[in-house]
Structure 1
Amino acid sequence: MADPFIWDAALLRRYDTHGPRYTSYPTALSFGSDFTEPDYQAALARSNADGRPLSIYVHIPFCRKACHYCGCHKVATKTTKVAEPYISRLDREMVLIKPHVDTRREVAQLHWGGGTPTFLSLDQMSDLIDRLDARFGLSNARDRDYAIEIDPREADVFTLRHLQALGFNRLSLGVQDLDPRVQRAINRVQPRILTEALIDEADRLGFRSLNLDLIYGLPLQTRDSFAATLEQVIAMAPARLSIFNYAHMPERFAAQRHINAGDLPAPEEKLAMLRITIAMLTEAGYVHIGMDHFARASDSLAIAQREGTLQRNFQGYSSHAQCDLIGLGVSAISCIDDVYSQNHVTLAAYEQALDASHLPTARGIRLSFDDRVRRHAIERLMCDMELDFDELSETFGIDAPRYLTDALARLEMPQRDGLVVWDGPRLIATPLGRLLIRHLAMAFDARLPRQPDSQHSRIV
């Protein structure tokens, strides 16, 4: 099995610092509590003038059992009754948002995340879809992108049939690892047959795209054990794979304190897992979209990247560009017009705001001109793996190389190390530079401390 490019482990280790994942710029760490409900309402109203399609994210925070690796905003409970008042409050949030939104705009994208959205009963899923349709008008368009995250332990073939009837056409299955020893160490025992049964049924039902989530760097993993997981996953033939680098930050995420740090693989072993992942998936015909995403060449993500329309949002890479994102639920983040707005991250505060007939806006930010220039540069670099300075100059009416002198100065060392090359006005990440694309993006970040701390995960 040949490597798809020359591997330099020493160089990767040298650049393996802490840094943002850039699902937004500015990142959530720059959001401020001085951003209030009226600011969000004003942004919603402004966005109507452009008439962009809508993307709606719904956060379902509940799961029956907490996985030890998890860093999400979640509520672990076995009582499904807690979902009823939550759905009612989601509807209340929609009611408060609706007067500020032109609902003739198409809802081109819908994503349910969590937690575990399949924590909901089938009737509760139907209820929530009905409420979303009543408030915003959901789309029947063939090219809509309606996705839901699924825990294979919480779903069966009847769940998939129901989701298809509700209008979902894309599924994301959490797998993480197929090794039983690793599963026990992360408190997520999930027999392979559960995943295989759902994949087979999704294929039979004709779901347009299916994604599997894996994580490397988990306790008790080795390069050989992870290669065995990859071999089994490749045989399942999903259209997309998200293969995340586990970030062990027990000081931030209480669930991770159950993980024995001594069981975590050494940095060299993690690098070996990354190398094996890229080699095996490339050989199997997958395109490395960037960072932790892989897709078949025929998948909409790979097509969007080839056409230059790929974008990045809080769910990762997305093929639906130019949507305004409305986030519903506890901790959800919206990206509307030129603002980011985040809801309260605790269930109690979220409920209290809605019960008082207020949107649950906790913090956010309105972007300056400089923020918008740098956001565009970071997003295009992370999506296209290159940045066209002529296009950037034309888009914003600036001399981009002069305007971004600070960023270009910070890229001099990566250029000498062979992570980027110039082709006329285009700055292009090399194959090795693609693995360090977060580090390259950091050069354009005017808000990042020059020595990012452990608030961020490691890059590799």
Structure 2
Amino acid sequence: MNHTVSWDPLLIQRYNRPGPRYTSYPTAVEFVPLDNDILERQAYAERNPERPLSLYLHIPFCRHVCYYCGCNKIVTKDISRAAPYLQYLKDEIRRKHALLGGNQGGRIARVEQLHLGGGTPTFLSDEQLQDLVSFLRETFEFSTSEDADYSIEIDPRELRPGTLTLLRQLGFNRLSYGVQDLQPEVQQAVNRLQPEEMIREVMAKARVLGFRSINIDLIYGLPNQTRDSFDQTLDTMIELSPDRLSVFNYAHLPERFKPQRRIHAEDLPSAQEKLTILGHCIQRLTAAGYQYIGMDHFARPDDELALAQTAGKLHRNFQGYTTHGDCDLLGFGVSSISQIGDYYLQNQVSMDGYTAALDKTQLPTNKYCKVTRDDQIRRRVISELLCHLHVDFSAIDAEFQINSRDYLLPSLRRLDPMVNDGLVIITGSGVAIRDKGQLLVRNACMAFDEYIYQHEQQRFSKAI
């Protein structure tokens, strides 16, 4: 795979339109409301029991509101709210575990991946974290393989002195720190104050404890950011040398996300400045030795993501880029999403809806989507483009027993403008994204998306 990213701001501006991030296909906007859990039970009944498991637990609580945030969260300083939520969470886990055959003495597939997200997972006390992980390990069998992936999202402001040590003892081997930006004026504008020294301290501690992989999240396009100010943040990031970096585009959608109304639009960088920040960021990180994985993600060449991409084994799902795409993903907690075989299943997005369903002894399912054969084909094509920048027609033919070039012909024709602009190449053997098309791979994916033209583009963030 060619990892060289070509920068052409004029082309990027021309193609910079809203589109999905394709953590699933069909995307979440296609999920259909449910008023019972019958279809989720059916998904478990049809599940291939040989498939390993990936568990995602959503901890929605945050002590502070970050103005840029569009996540499903509950902002509160009342730590007593965690205890009843954990009881509901355990109830949901028991119910789903039973559907896997756990109450019938049958063999349960191993857990190869665990992720705690939010919200702020360390809103939970150390005792609650220990109790929750102990419960999971008593309920499921966890893989002891070296490539097992047990991760947690960390707000550096919400770490107690012994929490990182505890997390390592509990078996977590990967961390993701939310940093976003290190400049005080930017932090002030988004209500996320965390001194650089705090970041240095938690990074150093994680290294000493032996976490296998450390990710840092950054955001470009925040208020008061400039190329020069973000460059200072990059100086520190390159010095700290995290294994992975996620550099996300801030999408200002105050009509959808109430906290964003506290951000003054006039303080945001212009579209041109925002592009300049991104271009400089890519230049700096690749010069520092990071491999551009795609969709805002960078990794050191020896990181598992980069190695999987080089080997053609990278996947993408609701966890983002992953090396465990062969797992069934079980989501637990308010708003979490499961992917079981050809079913996508989303939990209730409100706490009241979530707890009410469990009180009625139902699974807290809110929406679902069952993937069709056409969806399967297009999902494979989109995944290959996002992960490996090319699609091999013969591989699609063999997997689905079709003539993929004929089957996908209308989608291939939609790529004509990108072909003419030198962003994509189509040959008799497949489709490939060229160097200057890498940043616009989402646009290429949209050509294969049979749903996107049914929706207003405002439902998605822009590609860049």
TM-score grouping bracket, smaller chain normalisation:
over 0.9
- Aligned match of 2:93: 94
Map 1:126-205; keep pairs closer than 5 Å. Answer: 126-205=130-209
SS in 1 for 2:138: helix
SS in 2 for 1:48: coil
- Aligned match of 1:107: 111
- Aligned match of 1:291: 295
1:444 is aligned to 2:448: yes
Q: CA deviation at 1:320?
A: 1.3
- Aligned match of 2:105: none
1:323 is aligned to 2:327: yes
- Counterpart-to-counterpart distance in 2, 1:232 and 1:35: 49
- Counterpart-to-counterpart distance in 2, 1:459 and 1:354: 38
- Counterpart-to-counterpart distance in 2, 1:59 and 1:362: 15
1:386 is aligned to 2:390: yes
- Counterpart-to-counterpart distance in 1, 2:95 and 2:416: 49
1:16 is aligned to 2:20: no
Cα-to-partner distance string for 1:258-294 (whole Å, 9 max, x where unaligned): 1101111111011101111110001000000001100
- Counterpart-to-counterpart distance in 2, 1:439 and 1:245: 16
Map 1:43-442; keep pairs closer than 5 Å. Answer: 43-49=43-49, 51-102=50-101, 104-422=108-426, 424-442=428-446
- Counterpart-to-counterpart distance in 2, 1:178 and 1:269: 18
Do 1:32 and 1:363's aligned partners in 2 also have CA atoms closer than 8 Å?
A: yes
Show structure 1 runs of 4+ deviating over 3 A: 3-6
- Higher alpha-carbon deviation: 3-12 or 328-337: 3-12
Normalising by structure 1, we get a TM-score of 0.97
- Counterpart-to-counterpart distance in 2, 1:168 and 1:255: 31
Structure 1: runs of 5+ lacking an equivalent: none
Structure 2: runs of 5+ lacking an equivalent: 103-107
- Aligned match of 1:27: 27
Do 1:63 and 1:78's aligned partners in 2 also have CA atoms closer than 8 Å?
A: yes
Do 1:35 and 1:364's aligned partners in 2 also have CA atoms closer than 8 Å?
A: no
SS in 1 for 2:411: helix
RMSD: 1.4
Equivalent position amino acid for 2:244 in 1: R
- Note closer, same or farther for the CA distance 1:74–1:213 as it changes in structure 2 (3 Å cut): same
- Counterpart-to-counterpart distance in 1, 2:38 and 2:97: 14
Cα-to-partner distance string for 1:380-403 (whole Å, 9 max, x where unaligned): 110111111111111111110111
Do 1:350 and 1:360's aligned partners in 2 also have CA atoms closer than 8 Å?
A: yes
Aligned residues: 457
SS in 2 for 1:439: helix
- Counterpart-to-counterpart distance in 1, 2:7 and 2:173: 38
Normalising by structure 2, we get a TM-score of 0.96
Q: CA deviation at 1:447?
A: 0.8
Do 1:339 and 1:365's aligned partners in 2 also have CA atoms closer than 8 Å?
A: yes
Do 1:149 and 1:173's aligned partners in 2 also have CA atoms closer than 8 Å?
A: yes
Do 1:326 and 1:335's aligned partners in 2 also have CA atoms closer than 8 Å?
A: yes
Q: CA deviation at 1:141?
A: 2.7
Equivalent position amino acid for 1:389 in 2: F
Equivalent position amino acid for 1:387 in 2: V
Q: CA deviation at 1:128?
A: 0.9
SS in 2 for 1:449: helix
